[in-house]
Amino acid sequence: MNTFRMPAEWEPQSMIQLTWPHEKTDWEPYLEAITSTYVAMTDAISRHEPVLIVSPHTDDVRHLLSEKLCEQQLRNVHFHACDTNDTWARDHAFLSLVSEDDVLLTDFRFNGWGEKFPAEKDNAINRSLWKSRIFNRLYASVAYEDHDDFVLEGGSIESDGCGTLFTTTCCLTASHRNQPLQKVEIERELKRRLRAMNVVWLDCKPMPGDDTDGHIDTMVRLAPDDTILYNSDCGAREQLEALKSADGKPYRLIELPVPAPIFDDDGEQLPATYANFLVINGAVLVPTYGQPERDDLAASLISKAFPEREIVRIDSRTIIRQHGSIHCCTMQYPRITLKD
């Protein structure tokens, strides 16, 4: 019998998914700028591992990338044509579980962060990908599990790869997700569906401008060697200091700076955060916000958590205009029994 677990992000990956922006998304007013950011992310990722791009306009994206990427990188980019509402792959993409030889793709319901935004097309992306058999071409053994009766976004959980999930109370108990389930019932469902042994609930406070009700990937992130990186203003410092790892020792804590406030054209503060970095094979993509002193400090601190990986900075000032950052735009898939 297979024993599945949710791998940590820093474990070997087979590819990263991006869901590409287009003119019928909220990116339309600054489509050129966000497209340039997505090209920069594709450029950085494709130097280290394959990229899967989901878009209703795959030919256009292919042509654009052919002008920007070298031939080797282009061989690392794969496309899937599918209509989309938006671009936040972290929250609508599969959550992957692994055993020694198998991958299990779990497909949870995405409902626009508690029915705040249209999500029907994004919620159907995983089924479209599964029907395309792209994962059958990637993995020797892969299965699909439908969890459309339970709302869960990838940005709301962090896995240590050893059976413990971290999440925030403010997000998973927020309205229009899984009511009337209470916290204890939600924890039971997380353990059952994601084969987790423990769930750590953090009492963080959502960032200003956050549409997600407090996703953990905007505030607290896990790293190898029982390391936790966290925003200095996350509101959970005392909890983090009191936590013990599986071997009973305190976690190694790294406090990240908070960017100086950034506002949109209407004066609303945007959720700029350095915690929303992406770990890939051999590198970490770190968001920057045009604040050299704080950007440098954040990159240096994240490098301490991932000392053997290249730090790649991605200007994320356009991404936060739609209230997300690098990690929110992406989803990793594990490397297990890859086919040639």
Beta carbons of 183 and 201 less than 8 angstroms apart: yes
Specify if 314 maps to a domain. yes
User: CA-based Rg of the chain, rounded to a whole angstrom?
Assistant: 19
Domain of 72 in residue numbering reads as 13-334
Specify if 7 maps to a domain. no
Beta carbons of 196 and 184 less than 8 angstroms apart: no
**Structural tokens at position 211:** 């549409």
Predicted pLDDT of residue 240: 97
The CATH number that applies at residue 309 is 3.75.10.10
Number of folded domains in the chain?
Answer: 1
Predicted pLDDT of residue 261: 97
Beta carbons of 275 and 217 less than 8 angstroms apart: yes
Predicted pLDDT of residue 247: 86
Beta carbons of 229 and 275 less than 8 angstroms apart: yes
Specify if 266 maps to a domain. yes
Helix and strand counts by DSSP (H, E) for the chain: 12, 16
Specify if 5 maps to a domain. no
| Nearest-angstrom CA–CA distance, 326 and 126 | 20
Specify if 203 maps to a domain. yes
Beta carbons of 277 and 300 less than 8 angstroms apart: no
Q: Residue 332's Cα: distance from chain center in Å?
A: 8
3-state SS class at 299: helix
Specify if 3 maps to a domain. no
Specify if 298 maps to a domain. yes
3-state helix, strand, coil in the chain (%, to 5): 30, 25, 40
Q: Which residues of the chain have pLDDT under 70?
A: 1-2, 337-340
Tens digits of residue pLDDT in 149-208: 999 999 999 999 999 999 999 999 999 999 999 999 999 999 999 999 999 999 999 999
Predicted pLDDT of residue 2: 62
Predicted TM-score (pTM) of this structure: 0.96
Specify if 89 maps to a domain. yes
